[in-house]
Amino acid sequence: NVDALGGLPVPQSWADLLKPEYKGMVGYLDPSSAFVGYVSAVAINRALGGDLDNFAPAINYFQALAKNAPIVPKQTAYARVLSGELPILVDYDFNAYRARYKDNANVAFVIPKEGSISVPYVMSLVANAPHRANGEKVLDFVLSDAGQALWAKAYLRPIRPVQMPAEVAAQFLPDSDYARAGVVDYQKMAAVQEAFAARYLNEVK
């Protein structure tokens, strides 16, 4: 929330969040209890040279950030950003866009210079579904150009390279910024989540 920064510049990197001028202003969701918090940890870890077999960079970063008195909610903190109570929050892009374009808050979204990750929403068809054909039609529509455009209007970037309505595309950061948001092995990311949470609780909290 730009208005809550008291005139300070909008941070542009993970390193910026460690600066003393942002003490008490930075929030991130608890990675031991909120999935978006774990996503943040994986993003920070990858950006700082770690991987899913080595979370030392993320642990070191959170330990350093702890000295800057961060705000660490257990779960969602969207309303606290809107109110200005939480000036800076590590969160999904669509929440920032929603705050700016739907709730008219003076919010800026930044993909840190060191990099981040993208995590897709996942939809599944239930095994032995009684109306499988209808379920498949829903999934087909979601992945169609029209379906993806609907998600884009809700500030979620299409998973496929589809043409977004011009007024919608203009609300997203440019593709050159999103080039800094890479992908990981999501199956492995899920498999190591519990171990990371235990380490975070032991070494950071």
138 has a pLDDT exceeding 90: yes
CATH number of 159's domain? 3.40.190.10
Q: What is the distance between the terminal CA atoms of the chain, rounded to a whole angstrom?
A: 26
**Contact (Cβ atoms closer than 8 angstroms) between residue 62 and residue 200:** yes
Q: How far apart are CA 114 and CA 12, in angstroms?
A: 9
Closest CA to 108 of 77, 87, 83, 78: 87
94 has a pLDDT exceeding 90: yes
Output the pLDDT for position 165.
84
Q: What is the SS3 assignment for the chain?
A: CHHHHCCCCCCCCCHHHHCHHHCCCEEECCCCCCHHHHHHHHHHHHHCCCECCECHHHHHHHHHHHCCCCECCCCCCHHHHHHCCCCEEECCHHHHHHHHHCCCCCCCCCCCCCCEECCCCCCCCCCCCCCHHHHHHHHHHHHCHHHHHHHHHCCCCCCCCCCCCHHHHCCCCCHHHHCCEECCCHHHHHHCHHHHHHHHHHHCC
Cβ neighbour number for residue 177 with a 10 Å cutoff:
15
Output the pLDDT for position 164.
85
Q: How far apart are CA 174 and CA 89, in angstroms?
A: 21
Count of domains in the chain? 1
- Residue 147 backbone phi and psi in degrees, to 5: -65, -45
Output the pLDDT for position 18.
98
205 has a pLDDT exceeding 90: no
Range of the domain at 160: 2-203
pLDDT, tens digit (0-9, with 9 covering 90-100), for 18-64: 999 999 999 999 999 999 999 999 999 999 999 999 999 999 999 99
Q: How far apart are CA 55 and CA 190, in angstroms?
A: 14
Please indicate, yes or no, whether the overall pTM of this predicted structure exceeds 0.75: yes
Strand partners, 54: 51
Q: How confident is the model at residue 93 (pLDDT cuts 50, 70, 90)?
A: very high
Output the pLDDT for position 96.
96
* pLDDT (average), residues 142-168: 91
CA dihedral of residues 180, 185, 187, 190 (deg, nearest 10): -50
Strand partners, 27: 71, 89
